Chain A
Amino acid sequence: MAAREGEVGTVERRAERPPPTPSEPDAAAQARRAAAERWLVEHGDVLWRFVLGRVRSPVAAEDIVQETLLAAMQSRERFEGASTERTWLLGIAVHKIGDHLRKRARTTHRSGRDDDAPCACEVCRALFSGKGMWQTLPREWDRAGPGETPAADGGEKDERRRALVRCIDALPEGQRDAMWMRDVLGVPSEEVRKAMGLTPTNLWTRLHRARSAVRSCLEAKLLGRREGGAGRSGCGSDRGGAA
């Protein structure tokens, strides 16, 4: 120690910060691994159901859940605790699913679409005049049709949910991820904004366009079915979507 006091420069700086003991990095790796194992136990089933429900392929779902947990291990320190741990993990899964769907879209020759493009489908286009006033009123897909029971029964609700998933998955990638995180998972706006690198105004615009497109898609899907396929073509209604 006496000899160290006489030295200068790098030796002094080293003396300020004791050299890492071999157990430190091992401890960090162990902590990371322990956290991932705990996530697998506590949130594995939810992640599995969420991912499988989106991609429909157990093989792809396994890869995505694994990639999600690995990504979470790497970014564990960045978890700020604004949402629950489960919501944070599901948010990472949303990105991984997005990557998977994008790769699949490339292989099936679906062209990428602009994340901030307004909905240009027939239902959306017909809604407003050039001055932004209603040209065609939104139709009542959320209420029972003539001769139907007022409250949607279980089967009807399931069908609506399936239609909703198909409509969200048919959105351009950025809109789809924003809507999954914000509306389905309930991730706070601030966190979605940070994750996607958007300003508040960009996020509101993106979400508004996504929701408008999904609303139109639901109108076309749900009323088209009631009317035996005679409904107008809605956003995403002519695409298979991911589900």
Chain B
Amino acid sequence: MTRLLVHARDFRAYRALLDLHARAGWFRLSIVAALPVAWIIVANLAPLVQMAMISLYDRYPLAPGTEPQFTLRHYTAFFGRPLYLTAFLRTFVFGTAVTALTLVVVFPIAFYISKVAAPARRTRLLLLVIAPFWVSEVIRSFAWILMLANRGAVNSFASWIGLPGTPYELLYNNVSLTIGVIYLTSLYMLLPLYAALEKIDRSVLEAASDLGAPGWRRFTRIVLPLSREGVVTGCTLVFLLTVGLFAMPQLLGGPNTTMFATTIGQVFAKAGDSWPLGSAFSLILLAAALAYVGLFMLLFQPRRRKTS
């Protein structure tokens, strides 16, 4: 390979290109920049800009030969029907609750792997926890349907050990959806928490315990403050993931657990001026989620202490 590239220098055109690369800064930059910039524009920016435009159009696609009429009516339609507003509020309440629950459920796991388990076992335990996350959201929803259905594994087990009142209605409600969603989100909480907890020096904890701090005190005064960055990152990731969920609420949730992302999908797929309406709703979700997360980070993000 190298020999081939050395022989390539026998060609004048190749030498000229190398020469240009050595002398001209714009050439160096454009070799690296052309493809990424073009891609960023086509894949990341243009679709969103177009979406913002469409959300303001009276109707889209435009009939041939007509000029677009601008209107805000797709944004005001959001407030027009309680159906939309309830789904929207439910999504944010649900997202907040799931984020808090995930934090509580996963924190001991991250603490156990990073601080209590023997260092030699850490990688293996971590891989064990990560393994199910390589499986698709739809497959994992299906697995939980099999667990929680009326004739599913849990109910079958409950009646086998003789619990009264089986089958329990476990599926298609908030409980099943919460169980399933935490199944999806826990990894996004675990990895930032693990990274933060791993950095805490064990001797700090030992010092505190030598000085007589009880367990809960060591937790609130040392572990929690020192892992704050991981907590904030984990919560942000989990919240953004939860408010965007589309498939799982349809599979594990019931009629009373419709999430806003699902509403957007339904609005978008309908006939009529569905595209402008879907666009407006998408932007409302995006803006609200980013504002919510931004506020959260502003309040809880650890500030870098000034070094003086």
Bound pair (A, B): no
